[in-house]
Amino acid sequence: MSSSSCPSSPAGTVYRMTESKTWSRWVTPRAARDEPVHRWHLFPHSFTGHLVHALIDEWELDGQDAVLDPFAGAGTTLVAAKAKGIPGSGRDLSPLAVLISNVKAANVSRSRLASTRLRLRNPLMPSPSVVIARDYPPLVRRALPKGRLEAFDALAARIHHLDCPPSERDFFRLALISIIPCFSHAVANGGWLRWSNDGVADGTVEEAFNARVEMMLSDVPDNAAAGDGRDGGWTTSTADARMLPDSDETYTAVITSPPYPNRHDYTRVFGVELMFAFLDWEGNRALRYQSFHSHPEARPERPPADEYVAPGRLEQSIDHLKDARIRRMLRGYFLDMHLCLRELARVCRQNAKIALVLGNARYGGRAILVDEFTAELGERAGLACQEIRTVRWRGNSAQQMGKYGRLASRESVVLFEKR
Ligand SMILES: C[S@@+](CC[C@H](N)C(=O)[O-])C[C@H]1O[C@@H](n2cnc3c(N)ncnc32)[C@H](O)[C@@H]1O
């Protein structure tokens, strides 16, 4: 790891800047594609379990500690903390993230899941039918045409009727939801959905579901002592990182990655999954509005923040932008970051360690220094920025590159300690 320049905020604070090449592979989900359990469902922009393990070792956490991930996403922090025996909790606004995180971290037994699975094939269970039980939004119907939605719906009904603990039912729900991209004509492309006829799986939905269940089962330890899945801790609940449900001074560590201000909207990227399994059209729109202001369509209801002072160099980074929606998004993004840091300062104990994986952005040719601005906001919220560790350099968007040339943006881990 190398130490480099020390920029200073307008307030005169000097941050320690370091660079780690080893960590560059750990801030993209690529390496997790083949990792047991993590591979069940990945989020774009997720980090890997290696990063969590490295931080747990660096901070020398043990079973007396308690880790929080307030943007749990695909549950990487919880799964990695569980593997190391460190108690942990997750929060996320999205019901899809809550399901993924809970299923991955549940304490279930392979043999029990295998016997529950046999009951899924029981002839007395509701059989596949051409009648769709739910009134799915048009996006879901368009994404899964030609009998595919009927096949998904029938399997969802069978899973729903299983007589088993909720954690086992959720295991099969996740298996079903996670094969939607294999059949969907709405394809996630970066931060957007595009319509496509390519790549739709050859076999049937039932075949793909069975293969997914096999793969997931092969990752589950055969722990006959496992209870109903929820007794081991490491649970994630639905909550807003700006208004955490936790008591003051609960945690000794936080490892998380808030959404980047890159306009990607998870309610669109995962729109088919969310509206197939959890939300109607209005519910999905409400989730879009309430999410972190990392995309222009967010319009969250926030707790009061009269004390908020924006990062000193924010306005000079955005005053040239013609698009008022992007200016509003970036202002809202740092207000949200302030609210989240204020909550982290509240729920963390003194000397707690906090790591935020963040990506800088570029709009209209100018850099938005998300890591340095976040360090400045954290200092004001009662956290001491120990280090900004650059882990990767990313190219700008094709649009920005065409106009302004290639200018790489930092991806960093901002490390704080609660004062
Ligand atoms: C970058 S992802 C986290 C990825 C995660 N680190 C992983 O490894 O999978 C950001 C997450 O923040 C969630 N999110 C957005 N706004 C939120 C909010 N206000 N409170 C809590 N979670 C939020 C999204 O649903 C998404 O799951």
CATH number at residue 349: 3.40.50.150
Spell out which residues line ligand 1, taking CB within 6 angstroms: 43, 45-47, 70-71, 73-74, 76, 91-94, 97, 240-242, 257, 259, 266, 291-292
Atom of ligand 1 nearest to the CA of 240: 20
Question: From atom 12 of ligand 1, which residue's Cα is the shortest distance away?
Answer: 71
**In a domain? residue 194:** no
Nearest to 53 by CA among 73, 78, 71: 78
pLDDT in tens, 218-271: 999 877 556 555 556 899 999 999 999 999 999 999 999 999 999 999 999 999
CA of 118 to the centre of ligand 1 (A): 35
**Residue-number span of the structural domain to which 372 is assigned:** 21-92+238-257+308-419
Say if 203 falls within a structural domain: no
Structure tokens at 303: 């707790």
- In angstroms, the CA 56 to CA 198 distance is 42
Which residues touch 415 (CB under 8 Å, ≥6 apart)? 353, 354, 355, 385, 386, 387, 388, 389
Residue 61 covered by a domain:
yes
H-state helical runs in 242-364: 266-269, 271-277, 281-290, 314-318, 324-347
The predicted model gives 344-362 an average pLDDT of 97
The one-letter amino acid code at 252 reads T
Residue-wise pLDDT for 275-314, tens only, equals: 999 999 999 999 999 999 999 999 999 999 999 999 999 9
Q: Which of 292, 341, 413 to mutate to test the pocket of ligand 1 (most atoms within 8 A of CB)?
A: 292
- Give domain status of residue 219, yes or no: no
Q: What angle do CA 176, 31, 369 make, to 5 degrees?
A: 105
CB 372 within 8 A of CB 334: no
Residue of minimum CA distance from atom 13 in ligand 1:
71
Is residue 2 in some structural domain? no
Please list the residues that pair with 363 across neighbouring strands: 366
Domain membership flag for residue 81:
yes
> How many structural domains comprise the chain?
1
Atom 26 of ligand 1, residue of closest alpha carbon: 73
Q: What is the pLDDT of residues 310-319, one digit of tens each?
A: 999 999 999 9
pLDDT category of residue 14 using cuts at 50, 70 and 90 = confident
Q: Do residues 1 and 20 make contact, with C-beta atoms less than 8 angstroms apart?
A: yes
SS3 category, 90: strand
Q: Is residue 97 part of a domain?
A: no
| Residue 282 located in a structural domain | no
Distance of alpha carbon 1 from alpha carbon 304, whole angstroms = 40
